[in-house]
């Protein structure tokens, strides 16, 4: 971390709760590596004060802010501009402050896309299956539809109606999409190239839970789990047994943070430094 002085630029993450966030460790390590006189802090902000928080960041000259639960949707009402992709997603997790104006972006989907590519997964012209239909699923699906050059997306969930709503929104972007139940996803997986679990199933402490086992997977499938505690979930273990290429959830976490820095600073952060900081914060190294 830099030696804070009158020239230090401040960045932050807001949410409630916020004590669990490892964003300060990730970004401060990156700023240090880039030799920038910047500091990144975490603030617990309740919904009642969300508007005031945004105005306060402007008044104090903050350069950028991340937004986490439960404010990703409501924060949009207090921003002057919202990126086209964020409008489609319906949520913002990154704010850029410039000339007293706040612009909202969503880097979650980009994080997933870049994590897949970093792992050597061919995204273009792929048939993708996403397990889940929540905020993370929506961000990933919309980003893949808008920028992944994919062939199709299938949304699988326990509530088929909610899965269908997301599938219909994807169709509006010109990408073929369908929905199904978790129990009915096996037949779709047979003809798919990428499987992404966007649900919390398998997250610590319920580490033995999984929506799919090796028998429903195949060796030509790349399997990504956005859960990163544990780093290797039960789903990824099952995928390895089936001969699949696997991608853990830490990649998405790191790449969404790196994309935020690109938006704020216009520089290329060191992904390995950010990853090492996250591993240390999560006690995985």
Task: Please identify every residue annotated as catalytic.
Answer: 72
Scanning the structure block, which residue is given the tokens 């960045």? Answer: 11
Cis peptide before 213 (omega within 30 of 0): no
Scanning the structure block, which residue is given the tokens 């402050």? Answer: 97
Query: Which residues neighbour 126 within 8 Å (Cβ) at sequence distance 6 or greater?
Result: 148, 150, 151, 192, 193, 194
Q: In whole angstroms, what is the distance from residue 203 CA to residue 230 CA? A: 6
Number of residues assigned to the chain: 285
Angle, vertex CA 18, rays to CA 55 and CA 156, nearest 5: 105
Residue 233's nearest CA partner among 199, 196, 202 is 202
| Beta strands across the sheet bearing 194-197 | 177-180, 152-156, 127-131, 194-197, 222-225, 245-247
């Amino acid at each position: 971390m830099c030696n804070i002085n009158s020239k230090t630029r401040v960045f932050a993450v807001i949410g409630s709760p916020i004590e669990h966030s490892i964003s300060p460790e990730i970004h401060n390590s990156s700023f240090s590596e880039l030799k920038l006189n910047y500091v990144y802090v975490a603030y617990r902000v309740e919904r009642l004060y969300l508007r005031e928080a945004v105005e306060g960041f402007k008044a104090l000259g903050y350069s950028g802010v991340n937004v986490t639960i439960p404010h990703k949707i409501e924060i949009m009402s207090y921003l002057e501009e919202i990126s086209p992709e964020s409008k489609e997603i319906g949520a913002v997790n990154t704010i850029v402050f410039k000339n007293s104006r706040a612009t909202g972006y969503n880097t979650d989907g980009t994080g997933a896309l870049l994590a897949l590519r970093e792992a050597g997964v061919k995204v273009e012209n792929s048939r993708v299956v996403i397990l889940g239909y929540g905020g993370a699923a929506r961000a990933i699906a919309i980003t893949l539809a808008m920028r992944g050059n994919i062939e199709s997306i299938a949304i699988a969930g326990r509530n088929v109606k909610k899965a269908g709503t997301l599938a219909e929104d994807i169709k509006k972007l010109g990408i073929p999409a369908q929905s199904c139940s978790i129990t009915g996803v096996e037949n779709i997986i047979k003809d798919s190239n990428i499987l992404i679990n966007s649900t919390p199933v398998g997250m610590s402490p319920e580490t033995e839970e999984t929506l799919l086992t090796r028998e429903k997977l195949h060796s030509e499938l790349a399997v990504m789990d956005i859960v990163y505690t544990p780093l290797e979930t039960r789903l990824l273990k099952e995928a390895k047994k089936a001969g699949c290429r696997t991608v853990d959830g830490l990649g998405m976490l790191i790449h969404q943070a790196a994309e935020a820095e690109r938006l704020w600073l216009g520089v290329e952060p060191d992904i390995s430094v950010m990853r090492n900081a996250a591993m240390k914060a999560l006690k995985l190294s």
